[in-house]
Amino acid sequence: MTLFGRKLPALSSLILWALLWELVGRLELTFFVPPFSEVATTLVGLIPTPGFLSALGVTAAAFGAGVFFAIVIGIPVGILMGKSRVLDELLLPWVNIFLSAPLTALVPVLMVLFGFGTRTVIITTTLFAIWIIILNARAGVRQINRSLVEMARSFGASPLDAFFKVYFWAALPEILGGVRIGVIRAVKGVIIGQLLISIVGFGALFELYSSKFLMAEFWAVLIVLFGLAFALSEFLAYLERKVSYYAASRG
Amino acid sequence: MSQIKPDARHVAPATDSAVSVRNVSKVYGDVQALKDLTLDFPRGELTSLLGPSGCGKTTLLKIIAGLLPATSGEVLINGRAVNGPGPDRSFVFQDFALMPWATVLRNVAFGLELRGVAKSEREAVAEKYIAAVGLAGFEQKYPHQLSGGMRQRVGLARALSVNAEVLLLDEPFSAVDEQTRRKFQEDMLELVQKEKKTFIFVTHSIEEAVYVSDQIAILLPRPSRVSEIIRPASFRDKGVANIRRDPEYLDIVDRIWASLRNYVE
């Protein structure tokens, strides 16, 4: 972005929005929106508190576990679906249904099935993330150059070697794209889990601050969450760019 | 002079054959791609499969490679029937089929890696063949940093490094520019001399086939069969620079064109 012929640093549009936020806050139009400066001060004060740090730990652990299962199950399933007609016909309708299904509505069912503990939060997180990871891994495998598959076969690759040494790497750009979107969806999943299933972690903080109308604290936690999700997604986008050079040269 | 043999089925192989194709047919759905095709590939020689597009030459090559099953008939390598890919054959792909995430060194050593050869050992072999195809110094480069011609040299080095007896080349030079192609053809002749392997070479270029081959099998389409086998006799030892103006070379090119021109749309 340039202004008056000068190049502005990245994210400078955020400064504009922060100023607007500050203005709306100062006008005291609604108590839901305290001035940005107040939120920022609260944020700085909030982060070192034990309550916040333990909430962050609980949420991060559930999020990490959920994403881990989504990746470890999702990538192989997607690759197998891309390679096997039978498996693809069997699973694709379900993957598509769950991808577009309102998963939040399924949360009560999950609670009946798996109880009210962290386990159910992790399962919810996995369910939010896994479908797009499967679909992208499948798409990645399906576009693998046919001669690369024949190459692996003609040089005597075992199915396991072909999977780990050729298919996985050949599909990596698409797989990473799926993981990036999946991770963003998992952020949604873990917060919904911690709001609806077991009120712990960031979910408990949101619950607490919104019920007591502590709006500065509420917004501060939300900003932290946005920040973390954004950083994670940017990191994965960076990894994606690192392998994208060969997405173009795979032909 | 060349001897021209009109019907492959009545020809006794000149030397012993490394690869024999016996009455192979291939049917895709209701399309007959190959019909009752019989052909011998003499050991240590380069045989070209030449024909108009759609004549099934790549299909035949992939059946020999074991990448495609024949509908009927069999392929024998040293008398043993083929049912799938094997270490006695290696393949050079038209579009190179290199792994873009791997260095030249790992790409060339990949066949040996799949066979479980230790890293230091397979890299030593790979380095030797990288040098043999003229790519010394490029071991740590990635395929996207190389030109098309250099990429195919990597494909060739990979096929050589597994030390297979039979090399199968599927239009290996069709994706590289004309000058690179000519250099490749010259190198190819040297390689056949030096490596003492059986080369099976699919091409649609008449000049290329005549230039590099000890034996040329002309395939005609719909359904494919071998229409003639030509063995150039006199110009092979005259040096790479003289082949293209040798009268026999020019004769054969003309004769092949005369028999193929009716099949070109």
List the single residue in B with minimal CA-CA distance to A153.
B85
Inter-chain CB proximity B100 and A249 less than 8 Å: yes
Same domain, B65 and B104: no
CB nearest to B110's CB, from A155, A249, A250:
A155
User: Does residue A245 surpass a pLDDT of 70?
Assistant: no
Q: Do B1 and B67 fall within a single domain?
A: yes
B159/B197 same-domain check: no
Q: What is the CA radius of gyration of chain A?
A: 22
Which chain A residue has its CA at the smallest distance from B167's CA?
A: A154
Give me the sign of the Cα torsion angle A35, A39, A196, A213.
Answer: negative
Check B95 against A147: CB less than 8 A apart.
yes
| pLDDT one-digit tens code per residue, A205-244 | 888 888 888 888 888 998 888 888 889 888 988 888 887 7
Looking at domain A53-248, which CATH architecture does it have? Orthogonal Bundle (1.10)
Q: How far is CA A36 from CA A17, A21, A25, A129, A215, in A?
A: 10, 6, 7, 32, 11
Q: Within a 10 A sphere around the Cβ of B16, how many other Cβ atoms?
A: 12
What's the CATH code of the domain at B51?
3.40.50.300
In this prediction, residue B11 carries a pLDDT of 47
Set of chain B residues whose Cβ sits within 8 Å of the Cβ of A155? 85, 90-91, 110-111, 114, 158, 162
Residue B82 lies in a domain: no
B56/A3: higher pLDDT = B56
What are the pLDDT digits (tens) for A168-200?
888 888 999 999 999 999 999 999 988 888 888
- On the 0-12 / 13-18 / 19+ scale of CB atoms within 10 A, B154 is buried
Contact residues, chain A, for B65 at CB < 8 Å: 154
Helical packing angle, A50-83 and A85-100, nearest 10°: 140
Where exactly are the structural domains of chain A? 53-248
- pTM for the predicted model, two decimal places: 0.77
Q: Quick one: tokens of A65?
A: 């576990």
Q: Nearest-CA distance from A168 to chain B in Å?
A: 11
pLDDT tens per residue across span B51-105? 887 778 888 899 998 888 888 888 888 888 888 888 889 999 988 899 988 999 9
Q: Which residue has the tokens 């007609």?
A: A85
Chain A / chain B CB contacts < 8 angstroms: 66
pLDDT at A246 over 60: yes
Which residue out of B77, B94, B110 would a mutagenesis test of the A interface target, given it has the greatest number of A Cβ atoms within 10 Å? Answer: B110
Give the side-chain half-sphere CA count within 13 A for B202.
24
B35 and B73 together in one domain: yes
> Which among A156, A245, A246 is the nearest to B115, CB-wise?
A156
Is A156 within 8 Å of B87 when comparing Cβ atoms? yes
**Residues from chain B contacting residue A159 (CB–CB below 8 Å):** none
Q: Which of B67, B110, B114 lies nearest to residue A150, judging by beta carbons?
A: B67
- Asked whether residue B232 is assigned to any structural domain, the reply reads yes
Average pLDDT, whole number, for chain A?
Answer: 87
Please give the pLDDT value at position A240. Answer: 85
Q: Give the chain A residue nearest B151 (alpha carbons).
A: A249
Q: Closest approach of chain B CAs to the CA of A75, in angstroms?
A: 19
Tell me the average pLDDT of chain B: 83
Distance from CA of B155 to the nearest CA of A (A): 10
- The domain tally of chain B equals 2
| Nearest C-alpha in B relative to A246 | B100
Over residues B20-25, the mean pLDDT reads 87
pLDDT greater than 80 at residue A26: yes
Q: What is the pLDDT of residue B32?
A: 81
End position of a domain, from candidates B145, B163, B181:
B163
Of residues B19, B9, B23, the one with CA closest to residue B42: B19
Q: How close does chain A come to B90, measured CA to CA in Å?
A: 7
Look at B95 and A145 and tell me if their CB atoms are within 8 Å: yes
B65 & B97 share domain:
no
CA dihedral of A212, A215, A218, A223, whole degrees rounded to 10: 180
Q: Which is more confident, B186 or A124?
A: A124
Q: Which residue of A has its CA nearest to B162?
A: A155
Cβ-defined contact of B114 to A157 (cutoff 8 Å): yes
Angstroms from A239 CA to nearest CA on chain B? 14
Partners of residue A243 in chain B, C-beta under 8 Å? 101
In terms of domains, do B118 and B51 share one?
no
- Picking from B163, B183, B217, the residue at the C-terminal end of a domain is B163
B91·A150 Cβ contact <8 A: yes
Same domain, B197 and B219: yes
Minimum distance, in Å, between the CA of residue B144 and any CA atom of chain A: 6
What domain range is B146 assigned to? Answer: 89-163
A80: distance to nearest CA of chain B, Å? 20
Answer yes or no: do A165 and B114 touch at CB < 8 A: yes
Measured between CA atoms, how close is A214 to chain B, in angstroms?
51
Residue from B91, B142, B154 whose CB has the most chain A CBs within 10 Å, to mutate: B91
Q: What span, in angstroms and rounded, lies between the C-alpha atoms of B243 and B207?
A: 11
More confident residue, A57 or B234: A57
Q: What phi, psi does B25 have (nearest 5°)?
A: -125, 150
Chain A residues within an 8 Å CB radius of B101: 169-170, 172, 243, 246
- Is the pLDDT reported for residue B4 higher than 60? no
**B215 in a domain, yes or no?**
yes
Distance CA A25, CA A15 (A): 15
Q: Contact A155/B85, CB-based, under 8 Å? A: yes
